Amino acid sequence: MSTALNHDNPNTMKQKAIANRFIVLGFACLLLSISFGLIASFKYLIPNFPDDILSFQHTRPLHVFLAVSWIFAAVTGIIYRYIPDISGRPLYSVPLAKTHFSLQLATIVIAVSGFFTGHFSGREYLEFPPWITVIIILYWIMFVTNFVLTVKPVLKTAPVYVWMWCTGLLFFLITIVEANLWLLPHFNNNIVRDITVQWKANGSMVGAWNMLIYGSTMFAMQQITGDSKMGYNKISFAFYFLGLTNLMFNWGHHTYVVPAHPAVKQVAYIISMTELAFLANIMLNWRANFSKKPIEAYRLSFLFFRAADIWVLLNLILAIAISIPYINQYTHGTQITVAHAMGATIGINSLLLMGSVTFLFEKQMKSKWNKTILRGLRAIHVSLLFFWISLIGAGVMRAVALYQHYYFAQVSKRMLPFLQLFSMSGIFLAIGIGVVSYMFIKVISSHISI
């Protein structure tokens, strides 16, 4: 089994090209997502911001959907790039991957045009019309088929990152179906069931994409640090199983306020406290991890992964705090949840994905490009900190004001300074993400035909 990446093997040009296309699609979605996110946040800076086609009802779903599309397209491309190297044989079917790409692209185009013309499912996070799910499931099955038939020879002795990918692939399918159970009256006619199942599906879907992303990160880190045992050691597997348990059962901390059976809360609380083990692991290994030296050729990707580590730590502390029922009672339904979601999707997911992409192309990048990307990374890192803190600040204000039974207009007034800081730091964050995305699109398209 070969786990070394061979960047120049001409036999793999075709499969690389299709994988790269997914990555470019991902960055294009990211650029669009941050543009709509910025427009949406202007509503806080300029209350009279034009309200027609770019109203908040349009821009928020566009922003969220495209952010999720970025994550899935990028991680799909990254996995398509890695698996031939892991299994030591070509991708099972390039035409299948091409069909997958066309369907995924079509889904994005259809959903986005639907949002512009006001076609919503009206469901949180998955706001596109439900029939689109059928296409998503179809292309996902193509992806699973290609994945399994490519890595088949190594499945028996698979390293932990292959387990993580398998888990992510399976649970995405389960959760996308679960997210559509509301179409059945049994779920739709009972709001408590509907909301609980929605949180469950959405929460575990995030767990599924985390599995895909963390698996990819681990594979890259193994190459970057030259630590080939990382994928096989017992601790890695122990944390994988803990991660899986969290994926399955940790969604419940979102539902403390939902009047489902009290046991749902108890299960959620117990499981969310197992996250302390992740925290302890990071803290204990912090110095050791930071003093690890990357192979010289992968310095930039190493920096992306290290930056993400800081966000893992901050978000984990926040997640554990808001999982404590006493605290959750005040913070739920406030911008603190947004801070948690955005801190994780930008600080962790996006930086890890960017790290993996850097890892794939770093050897071919000109040093002046490296410098620009590094500046972009710095801009993201610093502005995200302000962005994150301002959301927490706004959330605290909202919690306090609502606790004192203020009218919502008064609540808004109290939150305003924080929301303005949020919008301002959002501008810098968007510049950082914009620069990095633009540079990667340039790097990828200049080296390999897409």
Positions in the binding site for another protein (CB under 8 A): 43, 47, 51, 55-57, 60-61, 120-124, 127, 163, 178, 181, 186-193, 195-200, 237, 241, 244-245, 248-249, 254-255, 257-261, 263-264, 267, 332-335, 337-338, 398, 405, 407-409, 411-412
Looking at beta carbons only, is 289 or 420 nearer to ligand HEC?
A: 420
Q: Which does 267 bind (CB under 5 to 8 A by kind): ligand HEC, another protein, none?
A: another protein
Looking at beta carbons only, is 195 or 436 nearer to ligand HEC?
A: 195
- State both tokens at 416: 């305003």
Question: Position 183: which residue type?
Answer: L
Q: Is 57 in the site for ligand HEC (CB under 6 A)?
A: yes
Looking at beta carbons only, is 128 or 143 nearer to ligand HEC?
A: 128
Looking at beta carbons only, is 60 or 81 nearer to ligand HEC?
A: 60
Q: Is 408 in the site for ligand HEC (CB under 6 A)?
A: yes
Q: Is 102 in the site for ligand HEC (CB under 6 A)?
A: no
Q: If DSSP codes are grouped into helix, strand and coil, which group holds residue 76?
A: helix
Q: Which does 4 bind (CB under 5 to 8 A by kind): another protein, ligand HEC, none?
A: none
Of the residues 4, 46, 263, 409, which one makes contact with ligand HEC according to CB under 6 A:
409
Residue 118 C-beta: closest distance to ligand HEC, Å? 12
Quick count: other Cβ atoms within 10 Å of Cβ 303?
19
Residue 69 C-beta: closest distance to another protein, Å? 18
List C-alpha distances in Å: 18 to 72, 96, 181, 355, 445. 15, 10, 33, 20, 12
Contact indicator for 16, 444 with CB cutoff of 8 Å: no
Rounded CA gap, 316 and 15, in Å? 37
Looking at beta carbons only, is 186 or 293 nearer to another protein?
A: 186
Looking at beta carbons only, is 260 or 282 nearer to another protein?
A: 260
Residue 111 C-beta: closest distance to another protein, Å? 14
Looking at beta carbons only, is 5 or 248 nearer to another protein?
A: 248
CA dihedral 431, 432, 437, 443 (to 10 degrees): 120
Q: Which does 192 bind (CB under 5 to 8 A by kind): another protein, ligand HEC, none?
A: another protein
Residue 197 C-beta: closest distance to another protein, Å? 7
Q: Is 403 in the site for ligand HEC (CB under 6 A)?
A: no
Q: Is 239 in the site for ligand HEC (CB under 6 A)?
A: no
Q: Is 334 left (phi over 0), alpha (psi -120 to 50) or beta?
A: beta
Of the residues 56, 120, 125, 239, which one makes contact with ligand HEC according to CB under 6 A:
56
Residue 96 C-beta: closest distance to another protein, Å? 27
Within 79-147, strands assigned E span none
Rounded CA gap, 317 and 339, in Å? 12
Looking at beta carbons only, is 55 or 364 nearer to another protein?
A: 55
Residue 74 C-beta: closest distance to ligand HEC, Å? 30
Nearest to 26 by CA among 89, 79, 59, 72: 72
Sign of the C-alpha dihedral, residues 40, 305, 20, 345? negative
Helix axes 351-361, 367-403, angle to 10 degrees: 170
Cα angle 68, 340, 137; round to 5: 25
Residue 210, classified by CB atoms within 10 Å of its CB into exposed (0-12), middle (13-18) or buried (19+), is: buried
DSSP H or E stretch at residue 447: helix 408-447
Helix axes 408-447, 351-361, angle to 10 degrees: 10
Q: Which does 188 bind (CB under 5 to 8 A by kind): another protein, ligand HEC, none?
A: another protein
Residue 133 C-beta: closest distance to another protein, Å? 15
Residue 333's φ and ψ, nearest 5 degrees, are: 75, 20
Residue 108 C-beta: closest distance to another protein, Å? 19
Residue 445 C-beta: closest distance to ligand HEC, Å? 38
* Site of interaction with ligand HEC (CB under 6 A): 56-57, 408-409
